[in-house]
Structure formats: structure tokens, C-alpha cells
Structure 1
Amino acid sequence: MARIDVEAPGAPEAAAPRGAWWAGTTPQIFVGLALGILLGALWPETAVAIKPVADAFLRMIKMIIAPLLFSTLVVGIAGTGDMKAMGRIGLKALVYFEIATTIALFLGLGLVNWFQPGAGVALSGTGTEAVAAMAQKQQTLTEIFLHLFPTSIFDAMARGDILQVVVFASFFGVALAGVGEKGRPVLEFLESVAQVMFRFTHYVMKFAPLGVMAAMAATVGGRGLAILLTLGKLVGVMYLGLFIFLFLVIGGVAMLIRVPFFTFLRAIREPFLIAFTTASSEAALPKALEVMARFGVPRNIVGFVLPTGYSFNLDGTTLYLSIASVFVAQLAGLQMSWGQQLVMMLTLMLTSKGVAGVPRGALVVLTAALGTFGLPLEGAAILLGIDQVLDMGRTAVNVTGNCLATAVVARWEGVLDDRQIEAFR
């Protein structure tokens, strides 16, 4: 198989300057975050009214994803010319994904059983209609498998189905590498597309502070700060778990692969903040792809591992599901054995793989599991009221875990560039 060598897109700006914490849009995002909270708390009606600004920003992000992901992944795969390496990368990524999500699962179970956040909270019968409707969206394992393969790449791109774009781009990249020199014009074209899309991303991110402000204002204005007090114990347990996972698990893995943890956090600060404030993994994807490539991870690994992790490495979501499911049992006064909890967690882990692109995907999985195990949907209705607050944290951790996963696989492959990591110090 002929190898086609190409320069990685974005290579000229491979390293961020030393001491660049306050460079770019980061301080503006922090200001937007603070202003959004203030606006939502003081003028809730105005805050809710500006939500279309946040929606417009998310649409701008979504229009980038398909061409950016397709071009970078195809260039990465075809540029290596080594299909065995891509298979090895995929296997290593899946191994790491399952280890990370299993740790998140047991951490959530430990915390929810220790703190008992559902004890003493009254169930309410309101909202069960919406929750019951969510349960109907749950996919079977056959549907999840078939969903991997698009009937049309244009349809997949139009719907923003990340996993289908990854599957098609992987096959396309393999085929492009297989034709050798005849495929060079296509490869050079896609390399140019990738360069243009990264520049496009740079322009769109100029609007990030405004989008973040509007998203946070609408959240606080619509839900109110009081909702945090109503179920403060659950929110506290959830964020404690996310904090522990972020600093002990992700930090520990970073130490194992010899990546300075706080340097890593500094590198991903913008995708982290975008994910947190918008509660959208997709919104953070373009910036995360760019950042991890500049962090020293080869683009073929970034382009394959990061979007694949959006379906198979949902650390924050797994942690949430383990806490939320037992929380509902506690609300109902049911004592579940460890064996019953583990069976329910295994079910949740398997079924959660197919809902990455479903709005409120974690609640979709949870409500289906509640019906399966005979737990009351009223508990999910309570969670629906604060889901935006919980979704922000779990989405940010999902993005962080997937960014680190690219570095783990790159180190495992022996291709992580320590000189580029050093440039972020």
C-alpha cells in the first residue's frame, strides 16, 4: 500500500506561546460566564429572551463539525498509509474507554451509597409524561449497531451525526491510501479544506464569549438559583464525584503517561469552558480537535479517538447515571443490593453507547432503565428539573476525558510529541 506523506493541518501554529493562559478568548469567556450568571439572577426574563443568541452560536459550531472532522480524519488516516496502525489505535482507544468508564461507574456508586442524597426528598407526580416520552426514544442493541453505518454521508453530515461521519471517513481514508498516488489530488484538497476549517473555527470562536454569556444567562434565568438549594445534596454529590474523577482519575492517568496535568488543563481550558457553559459536547469538539493537535497528539489519532469517545467514553455521563439511578431508588425507599446495582449499571453502560447525539441523552437512558428495573419515573421527573445544572458538569468532564484519551493512545503508540507539550508550560 502506497504511503502518502502530508504535512499535518495547522502545523505552523503547533505550539502556544509560553505564559499564554490569558491569551485569546479565554478571559472573555470567563467574563461572559460571570455576566451570564449576573444577568440570569437579576433580570431572568431578559436572560431567557436572549437564549436565541446562544442557540445561534451553537448552530455556528455545528456547521463546522462535519467538514472539519471529515477532512482531518481522512487526511490523518490516508497520510499514515498504515491500516494496521489505525486498527491498533482503535483497539487501544476502546480498552482505555472501558477502563475509564468503569472507574467512573464505581466512583458514582460509592458516593451515592455513602451520602444517600435521595433520602428525605419527597417524590412528585408532576412531569412524568415528559419523562415517559423520553423512555420511548431508547434504542435496541440492533438499532445501535446499524446506526453506525450511514445510508448517506450527506444525510449524516446534515444531521450532525458524529459517529456516522467517523465511520464513513475511516473507510474513505483507507480507500484513499489504497489508491496511492492517484489519490494525491483528493488528499491535497482535503488537507486544504482542513486548513480552511481550522481558520473558520478560529473566527467562530470569536463569538464564544457572547454565546457563553447568553447560554449561562438563559440557564440561570429559566431555572433560577433556588433549584440548586432544593436538591443541593444531589448536586453536591454529583459535582464532588466529577471533581474527584477530574483530579484523581484523569490527573492520575496524566501522571502515568507523563503529561503534566495542569499543563493539560491549561491547554484544554477553552473547550472545557465551552462544554460547561453550553452543556454541549459538540460545541467543544472543533476547538478540542485543534487544541489536542497543538498539544502534540498526531492528527490521525485526534481525529479518530476524540469523536469516537463521544459515544464510547462518556466518563461524566457514566458517573451521573450511576448516581442518578440509585438516587431514584433512594427516593422510592427501595434498598437495592450491590448485585442489583451492578446489573443496572452494566445495563446503563451498554445502552448509553447509542445516545451520544440524542438531546438529554443521559435522561433517555436513565428513564428506560427505570422502567426496566421497576423504579418510579417520578424520580426522573425531579432530575429533569435540574438536569441542565448537572449536564453542564458531566459534559465538561466528558470532553476532558476524551481529550486525555487522545494523549493516552498517542503515548501508548509512542508518538506523543513532548516538545509541543513543553511549549504549553
Structure 2
Amino acid sequence: MAIDTTNSGSAAPARKGSTLTWWILGALVLGIIVGAIVNATVADTTAVVDGLTIVTTVFLRLIKMIIGPLVFATLAVGIAKMGDLGTVGRIGLKAMTWFLGASLVSLTLGLVLVNLFQPGVDTGLVLPDAGAQSGIAVSGLTLKDFVTHLVPTSIADAMARNEILQIVVFSVFFGVACAGVGDKAKVMVDALEGLSYVMLKVTMLVMWFAPFAVFAAVAATISKSGLDVLAVYGKFMGQFYLGIVLLWGLLFLAAFAILRRRAVGLFRAVREPTLLAFATASSEAAYPKTLAQLEKFGCSNRVASFVLPLGYSFNLDGSMMYCTFAVVFIAQVYGIDLTLGQEITMLLVLMVTSKGMAGVPRASLVVIAATLAQFDIPEAGLLLLLGVDHFLDMARSATNVIGNTVATAVVSKWEGQLRAEGEANPDLIDAVGPAEPAPGPLR
């Protein structure tokens, strides 16, 4: 996408993004209130929950219909304009280096905190029978499965199933091929660039449906589980959320170390997609808005359209921290003492298996179930978490967005592709609306 450094216009329209943020917050609070009332007054909440779930499902399906075309169009155009495979490899290497470092920090933090807090000791919970089935499909990820899963048998099939990693692989080949063809592919690249702007505009239209989806998602969850479940698991959830806050602090410090003062602007820029991911418990729902906000912040389209979808496959910081936290919690509940060697082994296993999370429903629980089996911890322990998993998933999803945001901005900076404050892409602004102005005069 062509970059223009002209001024971005007046600040008045910028409030549109803030208005949507307030609507989402209001919907979140209203959902909690309505859900609590329904849970307290309706004997059988099944019909209410099913009705509310329809609204959330429609919204998430609207988001999913955007992701495939958007990832393909933006990534293929970005790579075509890079011009050579060496640049793609260099950016990919920098991104994967960051992802591995962030993964190690996230997993280690979860492991340290769960051993420090001991949330599974003396919980007073009624333990399910060790032989009970959790209902979570356990699937071990082998190297063969992972490698073969990378390559789509058909791009249409990958698009239909929203397999982001497979779409990334095809887009890389397609973009490199366009770069190799040169001027003969100009019409194709221009068409895909137009498609990317159209899909971003569709995203902004769909986003106005977000408050209704947030209200429905939260109200349905509270209606079904009630607020009592939060009291029962208050200690565990409070300690996990504290861990999430600490992880956010570490991510901010890492961003500040590289981006300096602009780290504050980065976190401000993505507060709306982060809130959306939190309220819907889906980082995927926030993907299109996150991409748009990163570009408006100043990240190169070439880098953002490559690193962000890659991060959704390899850089799920919140989910990874939860994996170590949850596995050791279940072991503590059953009175199973894990040695330091076993916990280190678990961390290394999760470093590998967590990279297969993308595209797997309830991915964290699937990975946890597989890890429990490897260390002879009763899989039935997962039943203890299912009642509050949605509330935990809210924090995980928001953290995944923050982690991928920081990764994209850092790689843009390393590549010298982070525009200065005040520089804007007018085409992008026309498509998705202006960002909130940065503090101080525009340059």
C-alpha cells in the first residue's frame, strides 16, 4: 500500500473509534447485569442462552468471513512490493526470534507464578473421578503432522476453514511469484490492494455490530454459570489475572526498550481491538481491527501484513502462560508433586505443542489435555476449569492481541519500516477512518 506523509486531517472524526470503545464497555457492563438477573430469576436458562449465543455466533462468523481474504490480499501485496525472497526471509527470521523469546517468557512466568501462589492447594473443590472424561479431544502434535499441516491442499479449502497459517504459506508463494513476474503482475497486485482496502472497510462496518455481540456473549455466560462460579474460583482467577497484568507489564517494558516513548501510543492505538478480544473471548475477532490500527500507528503494511498473521499461529502469549499455569494447578489439586526437571520438561514440550494451536477450537484446553496425559496427571482435572474457562479465555485472548501488536511494531522498527508520529496513510484513513491524534503537534 502506498504511503503518503501528508497530514491526516482534523481530530474531530477521530472520536468515532473512541465512541465504539465506550459502546463496547457499556455493552460489557450491561451484559453482566442482565446475565446476573437472568441467572437469579429464570429456572431454566437454556432458551435465553441459546438466543443470546445466536447473536455472538453471527458476529464471529462475520469476522471470520473477512479474515481469509484480508490476510491473503494484504500479505500478497506486501510481499510483492518487497521484491525478493531474501527480504521475506529476513523479516520472518526476526519475527520468529521474537516469538520464541516471548513464548519462553510467557511459559516461564506462568510456571513461576503457579508455584509461588499454589492456587491448587487446599481449594476445597470436589474432585472429579480421575477416570472421568473431560470431553476435550486429545491430539498429540507430531513433527510430521505440523509440517504437513503447513501446506494447504487447496487455497479455497484453507480459506473456507480460516487456516491462517496455510493462507500465509500460499500468500508468501503468491507474493514472491508476483514480484518475480514484475510489471506483468501489476494489474493483479493493484486489484489485491484494492481488495485489502475493501475488506478493511467491511471490517469497520462489521465492528458496529460488536457491542451487540459483546452484550450477548457476556450475558449468555453469566446467565448460564452465574456469578457464584466466580466466587468459587476467585483465588485461582485472581492469581491468573494478576499474572496477565504482569505479562502485560513485561510486554510494555519490552516495547518501551525498543520503541521508547511510542510504546505508550502503541498500547493506546490497539485498546479497542484488545477490548473486543477480551469481551468476545476471541483474538481472531480483533484481527482485522488490529491490522488497521497498527498501520495507522505507523507500522509498515509490508511488515504488519506478514508478522501479524504469523503471530496468530506462533505467538499466543496469553494462551501459553495459561497452559503452564493450568497444568500445574491441576497437578496441585490432585496432590501430585512435579519435580523441577519435570516442570522444565513440561515448559519445553509446551514451547513446541503450543505452536500448533492456530485454528484448533478451544486450543488451550486441547494442548493442556495432551500435556496432562504426558505427565500422568488426571485429564479429569480439566473439568474443574471448564466452568470458568470463558472468563479465563477473555484474558488470554486480549493478551494474545497485545503480544502480537508489540511483535509487529518491534519488527517494523528493526526493519526501519516504522513511520514517524504524524505520518499517515491517507488511503487507509479513507477506508477505516482516522486514528486518534498523537499527543503534541503533528510533524
Name the CA distance, whole Å, in 2 between partners of 1:218 and 1:114. 34
The yes-or-no answer on 1:196 pairing with 2:198 is yes
How far apart are 1:346 and its partner, in Å? 1.0
Name the CA distance, whole Å, in 2 between partners of 1:11 and 1:206. 29
Report which stretch shifted further, 236-245 or 119-128.
119-128
Q: 1:16 to 1:301 in 2, by over 3 A?
A: farther
The yes-or-no answer on 1:400 pairing with 2:395 is no
Report which stretch shifted further, 87-96 or 336-345.
336-345
How far apart are 1:20 and its partner, in Å? 4.2
Q: 1:12 to 1:26 in 2, by over 3 A?
A: farther
Contact kept in structure 2, 1:15 and 1:423, CA below 8 Å: no
Contact kept in structure 2, 1:162 and 1:307, CA below 8 Å: yes
The yes-or-no answer on 1:371 pairing with 2:385 is no
Contact kept in structure 2, 1:15 and 1:294, CA below 8 Å: no
The yes-or-no answer on 1:424 pairing with 2:438 is yes
The yes-or-no answer on 1:124 pairing with 2:127 is yes
Residue of structure 2 aligned with 1:34, choices 29, 38, 42: 29
Contact kept in structure 2, 1:312 and 1:353, CA below 8 Å: yes
Contact kept in structure 1, 2:275 and 2:398, CA below 8 Å: yes
The yes-or-no answer on 1:304 pairing with 2:299 is no
Q: Which runs of 5+ in 1 are unaligned?
A: 1-5
How far apart are 1:17 and its partner, in Å? 3.7
| Aligned match of 2:334 | 332
Q: Which amino acid aligns with 1:255?
A: F
| Aligned match of 1:75 | 77
Contact kept in structure 1, 2:130 and 2:378, CA below 8 Å: no
The residue correspondences of 1:233-312 to structure 2 (distance < 5 A) are: 233-247=235-249, 249-257=250-258, 258-312=260-314
Name the CA distance, whole Å, in 1 between partners of 2:32 and 2:7. 34
How far apart are 1:128 and its partner, in Å? 6.5
Q: Which runs of 5+ in 2 are unaligned?
A: 40-44, 424-435
Q: Percent identity?
A: 46
How far apart are 1:243 and its partner, in Å? 0.3
Name the CA distance, whole Å, in 2 between partners of 1:107 and 1:407. 23
Q: 1:84 to 1:35 in 2, by over 3 A?
A: same
Across the two proteins, how many residue pairs are aligned to each other? 417
How far apart are 1:138 and its partner, in Å? 3.6
| Aligned match of 1:145 | 147
How far apart are 1:11 and its partner, in Å? 8.9
How far apart are 1:21 and its partner, in Å? 8.6
Q: Which amino acid aligns with 1:124?
A: L
| Aligned match of 1:3 | none
The residue correspondences of 1:99-248 to structure 2 (distance < 5 A) are: 99-121=101-123, 122-125=125-128, 130-131=133-134, 133-135=136-138, 137-247=139-249
| Aligned match of 1:409 | 411
Offset from partner CA, 1:65-90 (integer Å, 9 cap, x none): 11111111111110121321211110
How far apart are 1:129 and its partner, in Å? 5.2
Contact kept in structure 2, 1:16 and 1:294, CA below 8 Å: no
Name the CA distance, whole Å, in 2 between partners of 1:311 and 1:419. 29
Report which stretch shifted further, 334-343 or 362-371.
334-343
